[in-house]
Structure 1
Amino acid sequence: MPYTTEDGGRLNNFAREPKVYQAEPPTSTQKRNYAIMGVLAIAFVAGLVAIAVGIS
């Protein structure tokens, strides 16, 4: 555990900080997959709304 000593001799225990890294932009394949998942999600929600309207 990473302890630090403050003025007066008190110890503080801090959580470990995660390793920082630079995010990479999505590749063209990932972009295509995101678009496909978005279309499927919209179709799913539209289907649920259609079922709800049909039932009521």
Structure 2
Amino acid sequence: MPYTTEDGGRLNNFANEPKVYQADPPNKNEKRNYVIWGALAVILLGGVVTIAFYASNV
């Protein structure tokens, strides 16, 4: 387990912080994929709600 050393030589048992980095914005291809996956999710959810609605009215 990694320890950090504070001022005065005391050991600290807390986790080390991960390195922070800047995320790259999505490109055109990734944006298109997000739209496709979002549309598929909406269609799937709509289908499940429709089936549940008709099944509850039987």
TM-score interval (norm. to shorter): 0.7 to 0.9
Structure 1 alignment gaps of length 5 or more: none
Deviating beyond 3 angstroms after TM superposition, the runs of 4 or more aligned structure 1 residues are none
Structure 2 alignment gaps of length 5 or more: none
Name the CA distance, whole Å, in 2 between partners of 1:46 and 1:52: 10
Percent identity of paired positions between Structure 1 and Structure 2: 55
Any conservation in 2 of the 1:6–1:12 contact (CA below 8 Å)?
no
TM-score normalised by length of structure 1: 0.79
Name the CA distance, whole Å, in 2 between partners of 1:33 and 1:5: 47
